[in-house]
Structure 1
């Protein structure tokens, strides 16, 4: 998964294009599904999201996806789960102080954001994560306008 995660960051511009191209259609479809089925399909939809985003981004399913703002690098992969930038312990080579074999999630995020058309979104501060959303679908959250 780690190699695919790094690949996604290196190809963040293409991932951004796919997101901006397909997201409106996916959200519209999910709104229709939610309208017809209510919450009956939440588990299968969440499972599909977890599989897709887990493979591509090593997504941790926090319920408040920041991939489009963080260069396609999931900040929840940070051992300290920092959502607004790197800690003070990033090594000179750009690796994590907690997991020295892993590139800092935020070094990767800035790299990915620099390749994206709308990469400036990384400069916006994120609100603290609501841990009650853990394991929930951010796709369904968008579809329900939560």
Structure 2
């Protein structure tokens, strides 16, 4: 069932938003722009290499994903527009290829690996 849901989700979201099936969709908070389309997979904003014309430093033929996201977020309803500035955790690569819809319903999209939370004790040296 999970595989079927992921297939349906990808069939819907890929042609519209170029979905990369990260399993932790944040389209609603990024002006319906998938941050995973950034060549650097940046989830919290642009890198320091955005060109003066708004082009991507990695692929100058494309506009910076985050400039598009900002412009689009300005047109979103209030609560979604406000989420644009939220800090998102790094993508959990264990969820790659899974359905973000199923992960949202189960809470799996919010679960983070050990060591990601600042209040967790460090087990390093």
- Normalised to the residue count of structure 1, the TM-score between the two structures is 0.70
Q: Which runs of 4+ in 1 moved over 4 A?
A: none
Q: What is the deviation of 1:121?
A: 0.7
- Residues 1:67 and 2:17 aligned together: no
Measured in 1, the distance between the counterparts of 2:105 and 2:85 equals: 25
Measured in 1, the distance between the counterparts of 2:7 and 2:43 equals: 24
Could you tell me which residue of structure 1 aligns to residue 54 of structure 2?
94
SS in 2 for 1:109: helix
Could you tell me which residue of structure 2 aligns to residue 10 of structure 1?
none
Q: What is the deviation of 1:50?
A: 0.6
Q: Which structure has more helix as a fraction of its residues?
A: 1
Unaligned runs of 5+ in 1: 1-40
Q: What is the deviation of 1:145?
A: 3.2
Could you tell me which residue of structure 2 aligns to residue 128 of structure 1?
90
Equivalences for residues 1-146 of structure 1 within 5 A: 41-117=1-77, 118-146=80-108
SS in 2 for 1:43: helix
Measured in 1, the distance between the counterparts of 2:105 and 2:43 equals: 23
Unaligned runs of 5+ in 2: 109-125
- Normalised to the residue count of structure 2, the TM-score between the two structures is 0.82
* Residues 109-142 of structure 1: CA deviation (Å, up to 9, x unaligned): 0011011113121100001111110000001112
Could you tell me which residue of structure 2 aligns to residue 11 of structure 1?
none
Measured in 2, the distance between the counterparts of 1:120 and 1:143 equals: 22
